[in-house]
Structure 1
Amino acid sequence: MSTPFEERLRAVARDHYHDRHPFNVRMHEGDLTPQEVRRWIRNRFHYQRHIPVKDALILAKLRTPELRRAWLRRIQDHDGQRDGEGGIERWLRLGEAAGLDRPVLWDETGVLPGVRLAVDGYVNFCRLRTPLEAVAASLTELSAPDIMRTRIDAFERHYRWIEPEGLDYFRGRQDQGRRDGKEALALVLDWARTEVEQERALAALRFKCQVLWSLLDAVERGGARA
């Protein structure tokens, strides 16, 4: 049976997740233009490429080999254990399937300023805050599997001009997100024993939701600069 604290965490992850952002709503309803889809893929890659960076910062805060081994898997999930593997590689293939060359995705000069600010804020949060807060911020994973299923359905229905194999990133993140969310939740529930610690964990998760929301704000406004 879940505790009141766990229910509050799940409520934040559910009620403040970026699946409700107008840009994501339009994406899933099939209302984005090819230019908008490509702008999202390109700018979201700036976030994707920094996931293993923030996870390395969290890894350095963990005190036991068991915890470090478990968290190391997250880095391997995104970087792969060899060239041609991992979540970053699959996102690059998504870009290619949508007509974006790899050098364009890797070129940080094309990243929107608001996206850069949101990603820098999240990386620095994981660098400077406590292990509890850094891990709690990752609990957006509790909502990730559902949005991945919705996104796959939307892309298969509305964006058929994108090659199907480009959707492999979304397919892989369904199971990974469930596993990562479950493991991170167990850590937060174990570590946050006092009311102060619990409030810090909740604030960290709200912050991460704001990061993802701000990233989409920037992508949506980016059309005015195009």
Structure 2
Amino acid sequence: MSEPLPEEEFTARLRALSSRYWDTHPFHVRMHAGTLSKDELQLWAANRWYYQRCIPRKDAAILANCPDPDVRRQWGERIVWHDGARAGEGGAENWLRMAEALGLTREEVLDERHVLPGTRFAVDAYVNFARSKPWVEAVASGLTEMFSRGLMTRRLADMRARYPWIAEEGFAYFTTRLKVIEGEGRSTLDLVVRNCATREQQEAAVAALAFKCDVLRAILDAVDYHSGRS
């Protein structure tokens, strides 16, 4: 069996997957250029909602599989961030407000009438991955956090500039997420590096992150195809 990669090389392997992240997807390119229609933005928000609502379920699966109480305490904070400490709070609630700012009703987002089969398949596969794989692989899949801050910063600026009809309160998800994403990315990377003691575990972590990048791009593929742009 091969020796484990040095920490710097392992980290570099993970960071190199930034080229597979969804920031360069044609749908995002058009979003930032300001060429999406209102209908396309609504479809994006409704489908992204399905991903947002499933993130706490993914994180709960990690907790269920992790034997380390220190890791569970750390990871449990993410569920609270998304679900909120009480009703009407949290990242999921802020995403619903974004959908409403785009002209969707809360009812039509919550009943998932706009969620496409491709989106549902990809997101369900991600939740099942977290349930069935060792917890550190599921944590590694979330290392897309390393790549997301730049995209989110650019998205917030471009959407404000290109789609001025969106009310400012619709951007609450992005403004609040930007405050925590960099710290979460660093802590997740540290957790993965510390707990991948063998070369096999390191390779599995790299594969997990690649899988997550494919899940994200599959969501946009579904939206893009339905919009008739691809």
Aligned to 2:8: 3
| CA distance, structure 2, for counterparts of residue 194 and residue 55 of structure 1 | 24
RMSD: 1.4
1:81 aligns with 2:85: yes
Q: Which amino acid aligns with 2:26?
A: P
Give the 5 Å matches for 1:191-202. Answer: 191-202=195-206
Change (3 A) 1:119 1:58: same
Residue-by-residue CA offset, 1:71-111 (whole Å, 9 max, x unaligned)? 11000000000111100000000011111110111112331
1:156 aligns with 2:170: no
Question: How many residues were matched structurally?
Answer: 224
After TM superposition, the score normalised by the length of structure 2 is 0.94
Contact 2:153/2:178 (8 A) holds in 1: yes
Query: Runs in 1 of length 4+ with deviation above 4 angstroms?
Result: none
Identify the range of structure 1 (201-210 vs 171-180) with the bigger mean alpha-carbon deviation: 171-180
Give the 5 Å matches for 1:43-192. Answer: 43-192=47-196
| Structure 1 position 166, deviation (Å) | 0.5
| CA distance, structure 2, for counterparts of residue 134 and residue 72 of structure 1 | 14
Q: Which amino acid aligns with 1:6?
A: T
Residue-by-residue CA offset, 1:167-217 (whole Å, 9 max, x unaligned)? 010111112211221111111101112221111100000000000000000
1:18 aligns with 2:18: no
1:39 aligns with 2:43: yes
Contact 1:118/1:211 (8 A) holds in 2: yes
Contact 1:38/1:100 (8 A) holds in 2: yes
After TM superposition, the score normalised by the length of structure 1 is 0.96
Unaligned runs of 5+ residues in structure 2 are 1-5
| CA distance, structure 2, for counterparts of residue 108 and residue 145 of structure 1 | 27
Residue-by-residue CA offset, 1:26-77 (whole Å, 9 max, x unaligned)? 1011111111001000110000000101000011122222211111100000
